[in-house]
């Protein structure tokens, strides 16, 4: 503004060299506030003080200014045409004069306000006493640039006014309220719409006390997802549009209104509320639910048809659904955050991956399995091998290791006397256990379901061979147990006190001392004891009293209890 005035002043100082008028001439006006320029007419806000700068020649002769509602030639009388109050003119020099004006609203039959000036006689110089001022001294006349009859008092020296929508204090309150609503709609759009049905159900079931109450209140509204979305977006757009209009009406300048509303909406209506609601959306959404329901009711005539179309086109919202892989990643992220223990993470991820793994991934190869021949006898040597290997269930084959006949359980041997050398086939036929045979492509989920039926806890794995031109046939390749499936679920090896291997798949041997039960047997050359029960008791009492060393199988053993002596000399328990 200052630079404009300086440039215009310099121009007007040079103008008298070429043109020296005998009366005041106004070439231009410049208000400090205006709304727009329409049809070369400056539009001012009504009833608002405006600082007006006027530029021309002999501006120090002008004492007052006023405005008329009709247009007349320059220097025409404006005594009775004035429709506004008069305003003091404060000349800065002979080229620039200023005034503070305030114009009312135009009536329906008024086009614009046209500038009138009053020339004071005392301001006339003596040299000009004979000039044509004599007939207009102290009177109101129309101003103009002297450019001819059609251009005098032209529209460049006229104004139009516009009224504000409402009083200033009401506008300020509304702008503050609209900024609040803009932030609320933006925050709720992020906070509520990010909480899908699935997450709300989770919070309602497993959240804190406050979270449960918040989720329970929000879920009925969130169920109508598209209607809620349309309501929030319509409200946000309506509020932001109203803000721009009010800012434009308040500032009187479209550019300032756009800049001000953009900065305000970005900071107060987007960034800050979304930063807050992204962390506290559940609580804020629950506490402002009444306002959301109110806007849903107000925007229902527009929002409902749009949401109905969205429901038909896009389908009903079903909530977030996670695949097994995504659930596994989610659990691992929670473990890294410290909310889930490492063992719990392993169990959950193992259970999720159960149906993606097959029995071929966890089976024990048939070549590594401890098996018994169907024709073997349960003598001391065989029993020693069974207990030394530490397995509870032993597959029994006939002739070929791939020809599995039955499964022998260690519990079946509780009443077996090694001296009787009972055939394995006899025990198998007595219990008549069925065997489970599955293909190597069977997933662990199906295998677990089979084991849960209680038929058996060991299954044999076959592979379908289709090589060459021969017909497809099945080949026994391994076995799988319930323990193998459980180990895949918990992602760890289960090792008890009798296990020899820690990993059946990779055949990792456990570093423990292998038990040898041969000390409990008698040498074949010794035969059965021929001592009478009386002699056995006498020998027992003697050895127990002297704690003597006894030699069996060329090894020394120290017997310090009656129980050990009973076992060595095979004294029946009912004798002692």
Residue 38 resides in a domain: yes
pLDDT at 508: 60
Q: Residues near 281 by Cβ (< 8 Å), separated by ≥ 6?
A: 187, 188, 190, 191, 192, 194, 195
- What is the DSSP annotation of 43-110? EEETTS-EEEEEEEESGGGEEEEEEESS---TT-B-TTTB-S--EE-EESSSSEEEEEE------TT-
| 204 and 275 share one domain | yes
| 264 and 369 share one domain | no
| 219 and 348 share one domain | no
| 366 and 505 share one domain | yes
Residue 521 resides in a domain: no
- Cβ atoms of 440 and 474 within 8 Å: the answer is no
> Tens of pLDDT along the chain (576 residues)?
444 545 445 444 455 444 566 678 888 899 988 877 877 888 888 888 999 999 988 888 899 999 998 888 888 888 888 999 999 999 998 899 999 999 988 888 888 899 999 987 655 444 343 444 444 557 888 887 544 444 434 567 888 888 766 777 888 899 899 999 988 888 888 888 888 788 888 888 888 888 888 888 888 888 888 898 899 999 999 998 888 888 877 776 678 888 888 898 888 888 888 888 888 888 888 888 888 889 899 999 999 999 999 888 887 777 777 788 888 888 888 888 888 888 888 888 888 888 889 999 999 998 888 999 999 999 888 888 888 888 889 999 998 898 999 999 999 888 888 888 899 999 999 988 889 999 999 999 999 999 998 888 999 999 988 877 778 888 899 999 999 999 998 888 877 654 555 565 555 655 555 555 555 555 444 445 556 666 767 777 676 665 544 443 333 344 444 444 444 544 444 444
- Cβ atoms of 35 and 252 within 8 Å: the answer is yes
Dihedral sign, CA of 304, 305, 310, 316? positive
**Which of 352, 371, 401 is the last residue before a domain boundary?**
352
Q: Domain residues for 242?
A: 168-314
3-state secondary structure at position 509? strand
Residue 517 resides in a domain: no
| 190 and 289 share one domain | yes
Q: Where does 116-155 have alpha helices with state H? A: none
User: Minimal CA–CA distance to 487: which of 507, 462, 499, 504?
Assistant: 504
- Cβ atoms of 403 and 374 within 8 Å: the answer is no
- Cβ atoms of 465 and 472 within 8 Å: the answer is yes
Residue 520 resides in a domain: no
* Matching residue, tokens 């949401």: 307
| 346 and 368 share one domain | no
- What is the DSSP annotation of 234-266? HHHHHHHHHHHHHHHHHHS-HHHHHHHHHHHHH
CATH number at residue 386: 3.10.580.10
| 117 and 47 share one domain | yes
Both structure tokens of 520: 């409990």
- What is the DSSP annotation of 399-436? SEEEEEEEEEEGGGGTT--GGG-EEHHHHHHHH----E
| 106 and 124 share one domain | yes
Residue 515 resides in a domain: no
Round to whole Å and give the CA distance between 125 and 241. Answer: 57
Domain count, the chain: 5
Adjacency order of strands within the sheet including 90-91:
25-31, 50-57, 96-101, 90-91
Residue 456 resides in a domain: yes
Round to whole Å and give the CA distance between 246 and 240. Answer: 10
| 467 and 543 share one domain | no
| 250 and 283 share one domain | yes
pLDDT at 518: 57
Residue 522 resides in a domain: no
Residue 523 resides in a domain: no
pTM to 2 decimals? 0.52
Round to whole Å and give the CA distance between 170 and 186. Answer: 24
- Cβ atoms of 5 and 22 within 8 Å: the answer is no
- In DSSP terms, 525 is beta-bridged to none
- Cβ atoms of 188 and 284 within 8 Å: the answer is yes
Distance of CA 3 to the CA centre of its chain: 54
**Which of 314, 335, 369 is the last residue before a domain boundary?**
314
Angle between helices 482-490 and 444-452 (to 10 degrees): 130
Per-residue burial over 422-433, b = 16 or more CB atoms within 10 Å of its CB, e = otherwise: bebbebbeeeeb
**Which of 459, 474, 509 is the last residue before a domain boundary?**
509
pLDDT at 447: 92
| 178 and 134 share one domain | no
| 382 and 346 share one domain | no
């Amino acid at each position: 503004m200052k630079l404009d005035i300086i440039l215009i002043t310099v121009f007007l100082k040079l103008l008298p060299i070429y043109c020296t008028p005998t009366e005041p001439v106004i070439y231009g006006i410049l208000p400090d506030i205006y709304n727009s320029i329409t049809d070369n007419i400056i539009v001012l806000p009504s009833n608002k003080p405006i600082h007006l700068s006027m530029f021309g020649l002999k501006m120090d002769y002008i004492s007052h200014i006023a405005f008329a509602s009709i247009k007349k030639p320059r220097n025409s009388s404006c005594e009775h045409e004035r429709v506004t109050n008069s305003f003091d003119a404060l000349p800065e020099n002979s080229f620039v004069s200023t005034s503070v004006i305030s114009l009312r609203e135009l009536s329906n039959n008024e086009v614009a306000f046209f500038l009138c000036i009053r020339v004071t006689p005392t301001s006339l110089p003596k040299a000009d006493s004979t000039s044509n001022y004599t007939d207009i001294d102290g009177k109101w006349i129309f101003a103009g640039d002297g450019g001819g009859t059609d251009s005098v008092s032209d529209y460049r020296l006229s104004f139009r006014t516009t009224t504000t929508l409402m009083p200033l204090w009401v506008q300020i309150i509304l702008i503050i309220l609209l900024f609040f609503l803009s932030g609320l709609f933006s925050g709720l759009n992020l906070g509520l719409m990010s909480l899908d049905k699935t997450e709300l159900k989770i919070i309602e079931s497993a959240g804190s006390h406050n979270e449960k109450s918040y989720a329970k209140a929000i879920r009925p509204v969130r169920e109508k997802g598209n209607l809620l979305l349309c309501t929030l977006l319509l409200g946000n757009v309506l509020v932001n549009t109203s803000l721009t209009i009010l800012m434009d009406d308040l500032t009187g300048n479209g550019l300032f209104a756009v800049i001000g509303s953009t900065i305000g909406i970005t900071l107060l209506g987007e960034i800050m509320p979304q930063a807050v609601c992204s962390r506290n959306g559940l609580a804020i959404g629950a506490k402002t639910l009444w306002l959301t329901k109110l806007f849903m009711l107000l925007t229902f005539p527009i929002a409902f048809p749009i949401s109905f179309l969205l429901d038909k086109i896009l389908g009903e919202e079903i909530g977030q659904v996670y695949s097994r892989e995504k659930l596994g990643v989610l659990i691992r992220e929670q473990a890294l955050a410290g909310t889930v223990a490492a063992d719990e993470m392993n169990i959950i991820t193992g259970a999720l991956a159960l149906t993606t793994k097959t029995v071929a991934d966890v089976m024990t190869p048939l070549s590594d399995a401890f098996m018994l021949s169907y024709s073997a006898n349960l003598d001391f040597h065989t029993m020693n091998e069974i207990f030394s290997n530490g397995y509870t269930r032993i597959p029994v084959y006939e002739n070929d290791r791939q020809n599995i006949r039955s499964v022998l359980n260690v519990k079946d041997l509780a009443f077996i006397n090694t001296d009787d050398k009972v055939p394995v086939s006899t025990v198998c036929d007595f219990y008549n256990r069925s065997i489970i045979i599955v293909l190597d492509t069977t997933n662990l989920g199906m295998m677990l379901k089979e084991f849960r039926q209680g038929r058996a806890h060991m299954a044999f794995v076959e592979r379908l061979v289709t090589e060459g031109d021969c017909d497809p046939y099945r080949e026994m390749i391994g076995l799988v147990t319930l323990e193998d499936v459980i180990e895949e679920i918990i992602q760890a090896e289960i090792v008890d006190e009798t296990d020899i291997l820690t990993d059946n798949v990779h055949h990792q041997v456990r570093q423990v001392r292998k038990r040898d039960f041969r000390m409990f047997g008698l040498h074949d050359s010794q035969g059965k004891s021929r001592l009478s029960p009386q002699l056995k008791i006498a020998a027992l009492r003697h050895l127990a009293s002297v704690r003597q060393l006894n030699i069996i199988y060329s090894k020394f053993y120290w017997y310090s209890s009656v129980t050990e002596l009973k076992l060595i000399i095979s004294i029946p328990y009912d004798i002692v």
